[in-house]
């Protein structure tokens, strides 16, 4: 398989060209023939013109790539090695939404041939690849795993906004349905991954490894957020405490903050769902999710309390929220907890403006019901710096004073201006 791909006698197909799929597709396309499949024609048109719809990759990333962007299922028949990188979100009840994953699986099943390989990268609960996806592949194709085609799982480790830990530089975990599948899948990824591969003992182990990477971070951040709530009641600054505690050699350095996005804020729910299905209620993980999911509302309530403490009428108060994406230096708004801050402020009657140098106003309006101002106004009672975009790092006290009422408040969620703001009312987690 590997030699046939390198000689361009066979093709590799990537299904799902989002922030995970497109970088992988382009890296492979520098070495082999690639079919980039997506159901969104508007996104495909941008990629055909060397534009990354996610805003992560420069135009140069498309140079020298042997790739065809398509939404045609028939085109997929030309592929022999399939990689699935579609989203795996949660629904409004925090339950796994497998529709994109199972839909992509049906597409592959309709074109699957003897000798083909199917590898999943989408984050799922342990068992999903073999218990949910495999039956569809076999039913749609009439083929049997291992006897006719091979199956594998290789968790994605793409970190949006991170230009250092890219696909080629991160050790790639791979797994397969048998030894031949494992060896071949590992060899295919070694075409592009300079950091090498790690062969997991089974597909379930690889699935579990991925999901606990983000669950571990979620639980640790939840602890920091809970400590922040406690320390706020004590009148001490959380970042001062963490700085002091961090002098111990084995202290785990984490910070409080809003936990959104499509990894840390979503993946733990896949694990708790599977645990519940097996009759176990995951208490620590669920508690961490509860804390982190409530932090946007907590920040807004603390802001409102401080506005009231300043003797102001909340119903006439104005606030500015700076940053709307789920994390710094990206334009991705999916599962952004900044929306919770805005929603809660508005519920108290606070007129709330939002600015962000990277987010798309129309997307925010469609997803959360509010858009962006081109530039901030003045006379705000509170300014909340919700996302630490690089564009905000050099702002100084004079800048915030120009935005605020004389007795206004700066809420610095992640402590970016700690020690820099001296004469303005200031609060951080």
| Residues 267, 176, 158, 72, Cα dihedral to 10° | -100
Percentage of the chain surpassing pLDDT 90? Answer: 87
Residue 129 domain boundaries: 2-200
Regarding whether 187 and 311 lie in a shared domain, the answer is: no
Regarding whether 383 and 338 lie in a shared domain, the answer is: yes
- CATH number for position 274: 1.10.1040
Regarding whether 329 and 221 lie in a shared domain, the answer is: no
For the stretch 138-153, pLDDT in tens is: 999 999 999 999 999 9
> Do 24 and 60 meet the contact criterion of CB atoms below 8 Å apart?
no
pLDDT at 417: 94
Please state, in angstroms and rounded to a whole number, the distance separating the CA atoms of residues 49 and 46: 5
- CATH number for position 184: 3.40.50.720
Please state, in angstroms and rounded to a whole number, the distance separating the CA atoms of residues 271 and 106: 24
- The residue ranges of DSSP E strands in 91-155, in sequence order, are 117-120, 150-153
For the stretch 332-345, pLDDT in tens is: 898 999 999 999 99
Regarding whether 314 and 263 lie in a shared domain, the answer is: no
Regarding whether 311 and 235 lie in a shared domain, the answer is: no
Among 247, 262, 293, which residue terminates a domain? 293
Please state, in angstroms and rounded to a whole number, the distance separating the CA atoms of residues 335 and 371: 16
Regarding whether 260 and 162 lie in a shared domain, the answer is: no
Please state, in angstroms and rounded to a whole number, the distance separating the CA atoms of residues 237 and 226: 13
Among 293, 323, 353, which residue terminates a domain? 293
Beta bridge partners of 74: none
Please state, in angstroms and rounded to a whole number, the distance separating the CA atoms of residues 280 and 282: 6
Q: Could you tell me the strand order of the sheet in which 197-199 lies?
A: 67-70, 33-37, 11-15, 79-84, 117-120, 150-153, 172-176, 197-199
Please state, in angstroms and rounded to a whole number, the distance separating the CA atoms of residues 208 and 83: 19
Look at residue 350 and tell me whether its pLDDT is greater than 80: yes
Regarding whether 307 and 228 lie in a shared domain, the answer is: no
The catalytic residue positions are: 263
Regarding whether 225 and 141 lie in a shared domain, the answer is: no
Look at residue 371 and tell me whether its pLDDT is greater than 90: yes
Q: In sequence order, what are the residues at sequence separation of 6 or more whose Cβ sits closer than 8 angstroms to the Cβ of residue 114?
A: 143, 148, 149
Regarding whether 207 and 186 lie in a shared domain, the answer is: no
In a 13 Å sphere around the CA of 130, the CA atoms on its Cβ side amount to 17
Instruction: Indicate the number of domains in the chain.
Output: 3
Please state, in angstroms and rounded to a whole number, the distance separating the CA atoms of residues 321 and 224: 23
Among 249, 272, 293, which residue terminates a domain? 293
Regarding whether 319 and 273 lie in a shared domain, the answer is: no
Mean pLDDT of the chain: 94
Regarding whether 159 and 36 lie in a shared domain, the answer is: yes
Model pTM score: 0.90
Can you count the helices (H) and strands (E) in the chain? 16, 13
């Amino acid at each position: 398989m590997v030699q046939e791909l390198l000689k361009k006698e066979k093709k590799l197909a990537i299904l799902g060209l989002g922030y995970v799929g497109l970088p992988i597709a382009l890296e492979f396309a520098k070495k082999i023939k690639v079919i980039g499949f997506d159901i969104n024609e508007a996104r495909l048109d941008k990629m055909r013109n060397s534009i990354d719809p996610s805003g992560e990759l420069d135009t140069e990333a498309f140079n020298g790539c042997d790739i065809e962007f398509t939404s045609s299922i028939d085109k997929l028949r030309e592929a022999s090695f399939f990689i699935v990188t579609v989203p795996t979100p949660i629904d409004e009840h925090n339950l796994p939404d497998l529709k994109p994953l199972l839909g992509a699986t049906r597409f592959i099943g309709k074109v699957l041939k003897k000798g083909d390989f199917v590898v999943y990268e989408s984050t799922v609960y342990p068992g999903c690849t073999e218990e949910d996806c495999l039956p569809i592949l076999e039913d749609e194709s009439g083929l049997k795993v291992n006897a006719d085609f091979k199956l594998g799982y290789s968790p994605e480790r793409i970190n949006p906004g991170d230009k250092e830990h890219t696909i080629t530089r991160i050790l790639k975990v791979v797994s397969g349905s048998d030894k031949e599948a494992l060896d071949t899948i590992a060899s295919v990824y070694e075409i592009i991954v300079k950091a090498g591969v790690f062969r997991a003992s089974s597909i379930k182990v690889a699935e579990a490894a991925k999901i606990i990477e983000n669950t571990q971070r979620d639980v640790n951040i939840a602890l920091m957020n809970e400590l922040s709530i406690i320390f706020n009641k004590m009148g001490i600054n959380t970042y001062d405490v963490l700085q002091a505690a961090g002098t111990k050699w084995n202290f785990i350095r984490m910070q409080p903050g809003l936990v959104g996005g499509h990894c840390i804020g979503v993946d733990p729910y896949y694990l708790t769902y599977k645990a519940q299905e097996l009759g176990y209620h995951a208490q620590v993980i669920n508690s961490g999710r509860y804390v982190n999911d409530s932090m946007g509302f907590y920040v807004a309530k603390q802001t409102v309390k401080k506005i009231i403490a300043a003797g102001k009428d909340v119903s006439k108060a104005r606030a500015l929220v700076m940053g709307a994406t789920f994390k710094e230096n990206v334009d991705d708004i999916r599962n952004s907890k900044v929306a919770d801050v805005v929603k809660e402020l508005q519920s108290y009657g606070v007129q709330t403006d939002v600015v962000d140098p990277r987010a798309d106003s129309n997307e925010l309006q469609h997803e959360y019901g509010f858009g962006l101002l081109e530039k901030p106004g003045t006379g705000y009672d509170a300014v909340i710096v919700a996302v630490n975009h690089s564009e905000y790092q050099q702002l100084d006290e004079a800048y915030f004073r120009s935005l605020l009422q004389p007795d206004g408040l700066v809420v610095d969620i992640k402590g970016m201006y700690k020690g820099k703001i001296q004469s303005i009312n200031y609060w951080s987690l």
